Amino acid sequence: MDKISSDSRFNGLIIARNKEVDIRWRKVQIFFLINSALMGFVMGIVPINVFKIGGCIVGLIITIIWFAIQLEAQYAIDYWNDKIATVENEGGIKKEGFSFEHPHEGFRYRYFSTHYLILVLVVLFTILWLILLVFFLI
């Protein structure tokens, strides 16, 4: 009976973790779309520099919010990964997809993990907004 409850807990935690990953991807898509549209608006459509400067400031604010939301989303995913690893270790589940012997073996610590690639995207947008802001201020 205990084995069934461990499997049920494991499956429930997997569903919750996968939902968090899905939500993170939706947030990435939304912020990428907003940043891309605003950048196109600032670089091409707006003829007045005051609006371009304002657009760059708004873009920087949106990118900072994106960064904070990305960190929060990764925290939530790490939370579920930790819970899954706990159930794997306690319940004797033989899947062992989330428990690692060394803490830096986890998904988040790989060089090309999704977490780091999204953060690089956020940093690139931040740099582009700063370059455009300086360019329009000169």
pLDDT digits (tens, 9 = 90+) for 86-102: 887 776 665 555 555 44
How far is 24 from 53, CA to CA, in rounded Å? 30
The pLDDT of residue 92 is: 62
The pLDDT assigned to 1 comes to 43
Look over the chain and give the mean of its residue pLDDT values, rounded to a whole number: 83
Closest C-alpha to 125, from 46, 35, 42? 35
Signed CA dihedral, 96, 104, 67, 53: sign only: negative
Is pLDDT larger for residue 113 or for residue 83? 83
Residue 116 is predicted with a pLDDT of 84
- Cβ burial of 118 (10 Å; 0-12, 13-18, 19+) is buried
pLDDT at 106 over 60: no
Predicted pLDDT of residue 88: 77
pLDDT in tens, 37-79: 999 988 887 677 888 899 999 999 999 999 999 999 988 988 8
